[in-house]
Amino acid sequence: MFRATVLTLFPEMFPGPLGLSLAGDALSRGVWTLEPRQIREHGLGRHRAVDDTPAGGGPGMVMRADVLAAAIDAAAPNDDPRPRLLMSPRGAPLTQARARALAQGPGAIILCARFEGVDERIIDARALEEISIGDFVLSGGEIAALALIDACVRLIPGVMGEEASGVEESFEAGLLEYPHYTRPRDFEGRDIPDVLLSGDHARIAKWRQEQALALTRARRPDLLAPQTGDASRRR
């Protein structure tokens, strides 16, 4: 069973959108679980402080390693088999392959930072894997965690309506997905491509494959380039 534990200063952001639609239905059926935990419960002093000024000076505040360690240790004992993830713009970009691997595992412990981020020492001390959802900066890790969990949960068997709909999608075959059409047949003078109305399933499959390849070549040639180690994936 996929169990997500989220460490955050804003537990009220969860389940949020994950309480609706496919993920929400699966959550209420007990197909996966979500446990948001308030980091501030491990804060220091009367004000339950979780952050402090950066060593060396500079703007903003840094989340304290001792507070985060206490929060992580309370949420997950040492023998918890789940990977510990830190949402971070410096992390490895999230991929469909990583989401699928996580979905097949026991879940994840996900740390959402705020302010300037975390004291560097917590990353090594608690073996955190940094994951980014893209080359832009959010104000906190919560939206990134929601995106990560959503990508995983929809891949858990029994969550998506049609089992097959997970395997033909963008990235699953290393390509972007082919274009879709539905009724009406004529939309403002624009037709559905004839081949899709031909009933010839072999021709349709071939057309879709060609479209996927052409789209990928035009928009994401990096996906087609031979994978020569990490550098080519890191973009």
Phi, psi of 128 (to 5 degrees): -85, 140
Q: By C-beta, is 43 or 117 nearer to ligand SAH?
A: 117
Least CB distance to ligand SAH at residue 138 (A):
4
For the CA atoms of 44, 139, 62, 33, the dihedral, rounded to the nearest 10 degrees, stands at 50
Residues 68-127 that bind ligand SAH (CB under 6 A): 87-90, 112-114, 116-117
Residue 141 burial by Cβ neighbours in a 10 Å radius (0-12, 13-18, 19+): buried
Q: By C-beta, is 107 or 117 nearer to ligand SAH?
A: 117
Q: By C-beta, is 142 or 154 nearer to ligand SAH?
A: 142
Residue 217 touching ligand SAH (CB under 6 A): no
Q: For the chain, give the number of residues.
A: 235
Residue 192, SS3 per DSSP: coil
Least CB distance to ligand SAH at residue 62 (A):
9
Question: Which 3-state string (H, E, C) describes 12-61?
Answer: HHCCHHHHCHHHHHHHHCCCEEEEEEEHHHHCECCCCECEECCCCCCCCC
Give the x/- contact pattern for ligand SAH in 153-192, rule: CB under 6 A: ----------------------------------------
From 11, 15, 54, 140, residue interacting with ligand SAH (rule: CB under 6 A): 140
Vertex 75 angle, CA 74 and 81, to 5°: 120
User: Is 73 annotated as ligand-binding?
Assistant: no
Residues 20-79 that bind ligand SAH (CB under 6 A): none
User: Is 192 annotated as ligand-binding?
Assistant: no
Distance of alpha carbon 203 from alpha carbon 206, whole angstroms: 5
Closest CA to 67 of 131, 12, 129, 111: 111
Residue 134 touching ligand SAH (CB under 6 A): yes
Least CB distance to ligand SAH at residue 122 (A):
11
Q: Does the N-terminal peptide bond of residue 15 adopt cis geometry, omega within 30 degrees of 0? A: yes
Residue 138 touching ligand SAH (CB under 6 A): yes
User: Is 158 annotated as ligand-binding?
Assistant: no
From 6, 75, 144, 153, residue interacting with ligand SAH (rule: CB under 6 A): 144
User: Is 131 annotated as ligand-binding?
Assistant: no
Tell me the number of residues near ligand SAH by CB under 6 A.
18
32 and 3 Cβ atoms separated by less than 8 Å: yes
* Binding site, annotated residues for S-adenosyl-L-methionine: 133-138
Binding-site ranges for ligand SAH (CB under 6 A): 87-90, 112-114, 116-117, 132-134, 136-138, 140-141, 144
